[in-house]
Structure 1
Amino acid sequence: MPPVGRSVHVRVPATSANLGPGFDTLGLALSLYDELDVTVSSTPGVRVEVHGVGEDGSVATDGSNLVAAVILDVLARKGAQVPGLDLVANNSIPHGRGLGSSGAAIVAGIMAARGLLDGLVELPSSELLAIATDFEGHPDNVAPALFGGLTIAWLEPTGPQYKKLNVHRGVSPVVFVPAHTVPTKLARSLQPANVPHEDAVFNVSRSALLIAALIQSPELLLAATEDKLHQNYRAAAMPDTDALVHLLRRAGFPAVVSGAGPSVLVLCERPADRLRAAELVAAEPGAEWRALMLAVDFKGATVVTRDLG
């Protein structure tokens, strides 16, 4: 059992999944973070204090809180119990915008549990990914949140797997975040059960090219981020996002829907291109997009454990 007074500090990056053609497979960790402090308390129950995103009451502050539920689930899987938990969440990742906020919450809970169990029970990387995928349903967001960088995630009969790749240092992400949200369930519901053979072949070629572009040849990013499997089908649910993607791509910027949207991710070839992309978006009449100039996060989620005394 984790001792009373043990505390952990967790940091988890935002993520962008799909990256255009890599539907439910590719994910990228970004330098925007949720941070979490968890302390084992002698007072029964769970208490959650939220700052930043979610402090308006949209995030639960009791045991139904997703992060808290994940912590307790992981502890239970390992046969561990705690009398009580105090959580302080400092959230920066926007909710419902396609930047992996739910995946980050799940990973934060798993990493917090790992820290609380430090020295008591081992939680290897493969198990972390398996538990995160159990909660999220697919590994494309949780893999980069856990491990950082560019990840390829897939499912085997033995469970989810991943490969982490280092991104070319010239690749410079900028994310355009709108004020409105689009539920992930709605976006996914617009996907057809079957797609044309030629569209599948198209995306296979672009996904392969995207790996090469991200790790070696950023000049190929515009062609490599083309997609025919999901973005067009979801356009009706987010017309502003669709219009912005097309505007940016016509101007030569490798723009894609970030995750399930409605944010737009641009994978610029060089840092200066991000400023030009932001100027283009800002010049649009009625533009209400917040530009986030980010870097690729290479570390993934981290946890630091401290004991009283």
Structure 2
Amino acid sequence: MTVAEGRTIEVRVPATSANLGPGFDTLGLALSVYDSLVVTELPAGELDIEVSGSGAEEIPRDASNLIVRTVEHVYADAGRSMPGLRIVAENGVPHGRGLGSSGAAVVAGVLIAKGLLAGDVEIGDSDLLRLATELEGHPDNVAPALFGGLTIAWMSERGAQHKKLLVHRGVSPLVLVPAYTMSTSQARSLQPPQVSTADAVFNVSRSALLIAALTQSPELLLDATADRLHQDYRAEAMPETQRLVQALRAAGFAAVVSGAGPSVLVLADGPGSRQDAVELAGRVTDTPWESLLLAVDVRGGTVGDRAEGST
């Protein structure tokens, strides 16, 4: 294949919040804050990376960069030679805060490859999810980042699968982001290898209820977001997060740990109540919280030639 040097594409990937309380490793929601990238093909072997925004100072500018490794993975899967890349990235997704920043990087990589390979190799939705899951390990963050909305993700004998659902227009997400970070691997290490049947049944019932609450009946969100599988076990590693979740829930807000934390996701039943949650957050912990009043992203990740727009 002759690389068309100079081809430039634009990619945009939303933040995601996984678990949503009871839907551990299964449910994810795309949110309206984004990583944006402009990528240009260069001659093979050349690499130029510019990064601004969240986590910029910690992101590698060499071949170990997660986006670059993902692009390389997709090209190898397609049986094509990797071109050189110029990547200019503006990171809007907070890093290390439980909002899917690593999943967003992986999704950016598969979409970059999709855009650069267009016209030679066509990569469909099922392959996008498969490739992203191979890199990320779990489909619960990459599925909403790819497809938008509320997603149910699972693994079957056919690999990673997903179902996208539209969220009720009365659901108004608020994310409260602390200054400190949390490692996903550290959070996972705090969970027990087994749970009781009673706790498993509790979470099955709440996960089923949560689908109804998010798509049809937002008034059920407080009950629907209760969890016994992971949040309490992780509390010792992020006590301020746990304190805020408990205070918000006691006040009637459907608050959960976003992903592995330490951010807190509030699924308010209307825009007006979000400000009350913001004010409560300022009173109940010693940690300052950045308030992100967001919408549910319904498009997911987009890619397109710079001159033609995104799809």
Task: Give the match for residue 61 of structure 1.
Answer: 61
Task: Give the match for residue 131 of structure 2.
Answer: 131
- Judge conservation of contact 2:243–2:285 (CA < 8 Å) in 1: no
Task: Give the match for residue 224 of structure 1.
Answer: 224
**Residues 50-129 of structure 1: matches in 2 within 5 Å?**
50-56=51-57, 58-129=58-129
2:206 match: secondary structure: helix
Q: For 2:285 and 2:157, how far apart are their aligned partners in 1?
A: 50
1:160 match: secondary structure: strand
1:28-68 superposed Cα distances (whole Å, 9 cap, x missing partner)? 00000001111111373222100111322x00011111001
Q: For 2:307 and 2:272, how far apart are their aligned partners in 1?
A: 45
CA shift at 1:242, angstroms? Answer: 0.5
Task: Give the match for residue 194 of structure 1.
Answer: 194
- Judge conservation of contact 2:44–2:82 (CA < 8 Å) in 1: no
1:146-180 superposed Cα distances (whole Å, 9 cap, x missing partner)? 00000000000110100000000010000000100
- Judge conservation of contact 2:244–2:284 (CA < 8 Å) in 1: no
- Normalising by structure 2, we get a TM-score of 0.96
1:96-150 superposed Cα distances (whole Å, 9 cap, x missing partner)? 1000000000000000000001111110100110111111111000000000000
% identity of equivalent residues: 62
Q: For 1:307 and 1:150, how far apart are their aligned partners in 2?
A: 30
**Residues 19-58 of structure 1: matches in 2 within 5 Å?**
19-42=20-43, 44-56=45-57, 58=58
Q: For 2:139 and 2:132, how far apart are their aligned partners in 1?
A: 7
- Judge conservation of contact 1:50–1:91 (CA < 8 Å) in 2: yes
2:284 match: secondary structure: coil
Alignment gaps of 5+ in structure 1: none
> What is the aligned-residue RMSD (CA, Å)?
1.3
- Normalising by structure 1, we get a TM-score of 0.97
- Judge conservation of contact 1:248–1:277 (CA < 8 Å) in 2: yes
Q: For 1:226 and 1:97, how far apart are their aligned partners in 2?
A: 21
Q: For 1:285 and 1:130, how far apart are their aligned partners in 2?
A: 41
Amino acid paired to 1:3: A
Q: For 2:233 and 2:172, how far apart are their aligned partners in 1?
A: 27
Give structure 1 regions of 4+ aligned residues with deviation exceeding 4 angstroms: none
Alignment gaps of 5+ in structure 2: none
Number of residues of Structure 1 aligned to a counterpart in Structure 2: 307
1:197-227 superposed Cα distances (whole Å, 9 cap, x missing partner)? 0000000000000000000000000000000
2:204 match: secondary structure: helix
CA shift at 1:249, angstroms? Answer: 0.3
1:67-101 superposed Cα distances (whole Å, 9 cap, x missing partner)? 01111221121122244111111001111100000
Q: For 1:83 and 1:196, how far apart are their aligned partners in 2?
A: 51
The structure-2 alpha-carbon separation of the partners of 1:160 and 1:285, relative to structure 1 and needing over 3 Å to count, comes to closer
